[in-house]
Structures are given as C-alpha cells and as structure tokens.
Chains A and B, each alone.
Chain A
Amino acid sequence: METTRLVIVAVGGQGNLLASKVLGEAALISGVPVRMSEIHGMAQRGGVVESAIVFGDATSSIISDGEADILLGFEPAETLRAIKRCSKKTMVITNTATLPPFTVGIGKGAYPEVAEIKRLLAAKTAGLVAFDAMKLAREAGSPMSVNIVLLGALIQTGALGFTKENVVEAIRRRTKSSFLEKNLVAFELGIEAAKTR
C-alpha cells in the first residue's frame, strides 16, 4: 500500500487532535493502516499543536521536514510556519481565518498578510486549497466545527482515498452526539468549499 503522510497544524483549542482521531477512525473503517503522533504539551496555553499522520505501509509514526504529502493548516500563519514540512509535491489545504498570536495582539511581532501567505504557499507547493473555514463553521452552527469543515475539504481532494461514507461514520463514532448534526453540516460545507477552489 502506498504511504501518505499528512501533517496537521493548529493553534491549541482548534480541535486538531479530534480531527486526527476522526481520520484514524476513518482509516480503521477503511482498512488502511495508520500511525499518528502528536505534540500537545502546552496546547492549552495557546501554543501550536501539530499532528503527524502516516497512512499506509510505512511503520514510522512521525514525518520529517520536506516529506509531508499533505499539509492541513487550521490557521494561515501556522500553515506558512509549517512550510518546511513540505516539498514541491505537497498539497496544502488551509483555513484563511486568522488567529494572531497574542504577541501580535500586543504589538510585539508581525503577522503576514493572508494574501501573501496564500501566494507563498501556492508558489512553493503542488497546490493550494484556501478558504475561510471559520465562516463555514459558523454557518454550520458552531465555530467549534472548524476542524470538521477542514476535514471535509481534505476528503474532497481525494488525497487520502477515503470514501465520504466512511468519514461520516468516523465522525459519528468520534464526535459528541450533541454536535453531530452541526458537524455533518460542517463536513458538507468543507467538501463544497474544496470543490470550488
């Protein structure tokens, strides 16, 4: 089986780890081997959370710089910060809604223009899907669903080879039942967003 390496970057609290678990469950349902590694020591305190997910036959559970096949970013500046994980062959999917670090908020650091972030990501990689996932999550009824919107976009690209049905089943199993309906709407909105971009 081909190996596909996915890196997800997010800010603590954006639901990156839950998104990873949904993908893991989808892999289980689809009969695809998977290993995932996550770094979340200081996540609750506003730091960056990174997951590495390796689908297929490779046995390692982390991904080296330059070797991600897909980079999924929940926050545009964090997506750009993770560019070293990519190569010319990497497909990038990013949320464009910004969450500037508090250092920027207090005037102690710069936040690049989103247009510039998009330009750089597109120029350096094999392709970019960029859209405001936060807006779609709000449309779905909860800003908390931003992770599921982005999963929808990821699945739509076909890069993982999972069927939509299997991912929906994984969302059912892994997300809170009280959020299920909103999450399923969010998932569809993500799929649509990736179709048009």
Chain B
Amino acid sequence: MHKLLNDSPGEKIMLLGNEAIARGAIEAGVAFATTYPGTPSSEISLNLFQMSQESDLYFEYSTNEKVALEVAAAAANSGLRTFCMMKHVGVNVAADPLMTLAYVGVTGGMVILSADDPAMFSSQNEQDNRYYAKFGGFPMLEPSSVAEAKEMIKEAFELSEALGQPVLLRTTTRINHSNAFVTLGNIQKPHTKGRFIRDPYRCVTVPNVSRGLHVKLLEKLEKAGQLAESSKFNFVQGKGKFGIITNGVSFHYAEDAVKDLGMEDQTRILRIGFSNPLPEHLIKSFLAECDKVLVIEEGEPFMEEAVKAFGQEASIVIPIKGKSKELFSRLFEYDPAMVRKNIAQYFGIAYTPAPGMDTSDVPEIAMRPPNLCSGCSHRATFYEIKRAAKEMEMDIICPTDIGCYTLGFLPPLNMGDFVICMGSSVSTACGFGQATDQKVVSFIGDSTFFHSGITGLVNAVFNRHNFTLVILENDITAMTGHQPHPGVDMNRFGLDTYGRVNIETLVRALGVEHVSIVKPFKVQKSIEVIKEALAFKGVSVIISQEPCILFAKSIKLKTARPFMVSDKCTDHKDCINGIACPSFYIEDGRVKIDADTCVGCALCAQICPENAIRPLKK
C-alpha cells in the first residue's frame, strides 16, 4: 500500500512538504487531480499518480497546465472535489482559463496549487503568484510549515465549496521541499462520479452573462473577506507595541528572531495565512495596537502595500516598512539571520551579528555545475548538429527550450542561445529566421513539444518560416523526474489503459515538408541526415530518437557496458574537448573513462581519431 494511503489517524510520520500536501488532498476526499509536472511541485503529482493506481482517485498528467486546469474545471463543475497543481510559471500557461473560471466558479471543491520558487532553485523566474489571486479574484491560503500545508488543503476544499469558487493554495520551495513530522488525519471517502447540471447563465461566458458573473464574483470576494477576518490561519501572537506582519516561511524566521533577540514581551506578530482577500479589519485593529510595524514577506510587497493603505484609511499614522534598500529585498529568498538582523535594526534592538567567516585564504574550488548525464543522448545530438554546421560552414543560432537539454548551452557544446518559456524554441525560431539572415536550429524535448511546441510549428508551416527544429524524443519527461507524456509507451509503466501520440506522424500531418529521423548514437549517419535537413529552405524537422539513459536504466531497458581508453590514444583530447562527458577524467596527463559511470553509449568511441576507445573487456 502507498504510504500516504495509510489509514491510521493519529500516527505521526515524517513527510516531505509535497507528500504532506498529497496526503491532505486524500484526507479531504479528493476525487480528481490534474497537473503538468514542474519543480517544486512535482512530488505532489507523483504521489497522486501512484495512489491513483490503487484507489478511486482519478489522476492525469495533462498535456500542459492550461489543459490541466480546463480538465479540472469541468470535473469541479460536475460536483467533484478537484485538485490542480503546477509550478508558478505553469499558472501563466493556465492563466487564460483561470481568469474566466473565476467568473464561472465551481460546484465541487476545487483547489489550484501554485508552487512558487523564490531564489529560482529550478525556474526561469521568481514571479510572485499571490498577484494571481488578486488579479483573478480567488481566495488564497499560504502555509508556513509542512504540517500546516496538509491542514490547509483540507480547509481550502471546504472554503471552495462554501464560496463556489476555486481556492488558490500558494506554496514556496521551502514548504514543498522541507521535511517535518505530520500527524495523519482521517481519510474521507471521495465521491468519484459527478453530474453536470446545465446552467448556461452561469457557465456560458458570453458578454451578457459575464457582466452578471463579475458582479457575483465581487460578492463572493466580499464573503471571502469576511471569512478571512475570522480564519484560524490569520492569527496574532504576542503582545507589545512592535508589530510584525508576515506570511509563509518568513513567519517562522520572524518567530525565531523575536525569541533570539529577547523581544517577545515587546512584540506582536500577525501571521497571515488566508491572504486574499486580506483581513482588512483584523489588520486595522492590529495596527491600532502598534507603534511601529514591519512587514516581512518574500517576493513582492503584496501585503505591505495593502497594510499601508489600510493604515491610511484608518488614519493610523505609524511607521510601516517592509521592502527598502535598508531592510528587505524583493529579490530571492529570506533566511533566519537576515530576518533577525532586519528586525533588530528596524525596532532598535541591540544585536551584533556574528562575524562572517573569513574565506580569503580558501583556494578556488572548481565549480560543480549540473551537466548532461553520462550517456545522455542530447550530448550526441548537440555534437552532431555542431559538426554538421561546421562542415557546411554555417553560422547557426540555437533557440532552445525548458528541459535537461537547456544544459547544452554550457561549454563545450554551446548549443543554446535563447530561452524564455516552455515552447518558445519553436516560435522564437520563426522570429529569428524572419528577422535575420542567420541559420536557425532550435531544440525542444518531446514533452515540451506536446506541452506548447505544436502551435509554434503550425505557425511555421502556415507562415512559411525558415529554420530547422530538432525534437529530442527521449520517451519521457526527464528533467522533473520521469513523468509520462502523450508520446510515451505506458506499457513500460505496466499500464495498458493509455493511448499514444506518434511525434513523426504528427509532424508530417502538420505539413512539415522535410522530416527526418536520427538515432543520435550513430554519429556519422546522423551527421549526414542532419546536413540534408540544414540545407533545406523552409521548415525542416529532425526527430532525434533515443530513450533518456537514466530512465532506460531504471526500467532495465539498457544495461551499462563501459568503455575504456586503450594505448592507441595519442592524446588528441577530441573526446574531452568536444563532448565533455562526465565519465572522462585525466590521470597523469592521460584521458581515462570511469567504468562506474560510463554506460557505453559509444559516442566518444565514434569521434576518436585513433579509434582508441574500446569496450572494456570483462
């Protein structure tokens, strides 16, 4: 049995934040869940996917976040408790349905989780998605701890049903990827079959209907505001004239700091967990008790600006600060020492931060950047494109996309010149091809192609753009931890209830005139095929087919047969300088291959001018 289906309420176990959230959804009787994977949210969906195979829960990996939200919106409007989760930038993809779903509302409880990533541990930006709650009109909850996250998602379903409105649950990486003790609660049995009751004057958003719906949305928000006033997630801790208003993980940094600074008797903390609409009266009465207030929130001054406005309305003239050059930044994440220092400084508490470690005599240590894995097929494809372009004396530029292969931008491959979001490799290739005379070769992974590359390719065919698109088909969503996508053979997971979309058939059907397939570990043949595609005027697509090596190893599709460098090596170092596989190392000036990590892809063996790289004899 999956550990999160353990039906022994009261038991205390250690869970990752994302596991706690998945468990909370199960305890709430969630019936329907959709997602597109994205760090830091991915383990929530992974656990729900696993649990759906041994429970009544319906779970799907949708093609992208917009699709996930629309599928979920229908389930929630059929009366089911529905959970849709994604990373923060995924909400941008889902923003179109999101903004109008706010008008339509739901009949079953619906929770939309946005996993924000302050400091960008694994994201292309650190946007603060609290604004989506305000922008669209959603009640929003924000946990401060792992245990609270589990309780909050249960309340979020209740709140959603009370208001007929989806609720936004907003987490940050330090919640998703923290571990803590969690006490298991009762598992509520889900209602798994819904019924859609026709209600066109609520559900068909033609202008005349929507005008009425916007009025209703504001009424719902007013009701939500009243609920926020008395929510247990908004509470005051301590008494004193120094006021701190805070949310999320910052609450605990502030709580620890107040204790460490010995100012507990002077300080009151307002922790905001129900943060849209903000509890106006609660905040005004809090301000009335304080001489001075500090707002501590990572990201944008979402609360700070509102708190200042409330103070003005209530004619409360006290200093209220948050973001400033001297205090808190809008950049990156906070930490306990920084919060302690700023609290001490703002409230004038004596505090001398510990002297920083003197590292002036610490020698430079080589960086350990993430790298494409040993035996990664992307490395081979990048190398071959580079060689083909060089042999054709073509100066290429390479828009790329979001996935492991983004790492191809690092030396020595240097394959990656522009990336902004999922799917952008294809559409920006259209633009670069049109705006310049440069040859454009763009890269996209298979999962990302399904997510949002297809529409760009349709655009390219219609507008007769000029570029080569390389689709890196490795049979899995690799970067986020091997989730399926529509091109995956689900029998490999032992699941026989899925369909499958063939990328080559799809690309040909879109009207792409030049389509070729390469097997990237056949180097010379691939280079010949690539050259033809590069020479083609118009849109050409190369599909590079080879399973992700980590995935292939995990399902025993491949077993490693390592290679070694023989005495024939005359030290050209083409292998190291050209492909820089992490299995290479230099010992006494000679190139060696680490047999523990080499998987035997034979890429290096094929490019060695002396044919010096050979399979290791057992």
Contact = CB atoms under 8 A, between A and B. Distances in A.
Interface of A: 11, 20-21, 24-25, 28, 33-42, 44-48, 58-67, 77-78, 80-81, 83-84, 86-87, 100-112, 116, 120, 124
B348 interface: no
A103 B369 contact: yes
Given A61-B178, A62-B336, A25 B361 contact: no
B366 A101 contact: yes
B357 A66 contact: yes
B287 to A, nearest CB: 25
Where chain B touches its partner, the secondary structure class is loop
B580 A102 contact: yes
A17 to B, nearest CB: 9
A101 B362 CA distance: 17
Nearest to B120: A41
B121 A41 contact: yes
The 4 closest A-B pairs by CB, nearest first: A109-B366, A64-B337, A41-B122, A105-B585
B362 A120 contact: yes
A37 to B, nearest CB: 5
B145 interface: yes
B253 interface: yes
Nearest to A90: B357
B42 to A, nearest CB: 10
Interface stretch (B218-226, B370-378, B447-455, B456-464): B370-378
A5 B111 CA distance: 35
B366 A100 contact: yes
Given A66-B337, A67-B354, A105 B582 contact: yes
Given A24-B14, A39-B121, A110 B177 contact: no
Contacts of A84: 356-357, 359
Contacts of A104: 366, 585
A119 to B, nearest CB: 10
A67 to B, nearest CB: 6
Contacts of B364: 109-110
Contacts of A109: 364-367
Contacts of B366: 77, 100-101, 103-104, 108-111
A102 B371 contact: yes
Contacts of B367: 101, 103, 109
B365 A110 contact: yes
Given A45-B404, A46-B582, A110-B363, A58 B256 contact: yes
B584 interface: yes
B368 A46 contact: yes
B297 interface: no
A50 to B, nearest CB: 11
Number of chain B interface residues as a range: 35 or more
25 contacts: A20-B179, A24-B14, A34-B181, A35-B146, A37-B177, A37-B178, A38-B178, A40-B177, A41-B122, A44-B550, A45-B372, A45-B407, A60-B256, A61-B252, A63-B336, A64-B336, A67-B337, A77-B365, A77-B366, A78-B368, A84-B359, A102-B584, A106-B576, A110-B364, A110-B366
Interface in B287-329: none
A103 B364 CA distance: 13
B115 to A, nearest CB: 12
Interface in B120-158: 121-122, 145-146
Contact of A105 (B174, B361, B586): B586
B365 A21 contact: no
A47 B103 CA distance: 44
Nearest to A64: B337
Chain A CB within 10 Å, residue with most, of B177, B249, B576: B177
Contacts of B146: 35
B71 interface: no
A83 B407 contact: no
Contact of A36 (B180, B357, B373, B407): B180
Contacts of A65: 335, 337, 356-357
Contacts of A24: 14, 179
A47 B122 CA distance: 12
A20 B16 CA distance: 12
B585 A47 contact: no
A33 B194 CA distance: 42
A151 B51 CA distance: 32
Contact of A28 (B12, B174, B576, B584): B12
Contact of A59 (B173, B252, B363): B252
A95 to B, nearest CB: 15
A24 B404 CA distance: 31
A81 B354 contact: no
A195 B615 CA distance: 44
Contact of B371 (A40, A46, A86): A46
A123 to B, nearest CB: 9
B179 A36 contact: yes
Contact of B356 (A62, A66, A108, A120): A66
Given A35-B146, A47-B369, A87-B354, 15 more contacts: A34-B181, A40-B177, A58-B336, A60-B336, A62-B335, A64-B338, A65-B357, A66-B355, A100-B585, A101-B369, A104-B366, A106-B576, A106-B585, A112-B363, A120-B362
Contacts of A20: 179
A79 to B, nearest CB: 10
A196 B355 CA distance: 32
A86 B355 CA distance: 11
Nearest to A87: B354
Contacts of B178: 35-38, 61
Contacts of B370: 42, 45-47
Given A42-B370, A58-B256, A87-B357, A28 B181 contact: yes
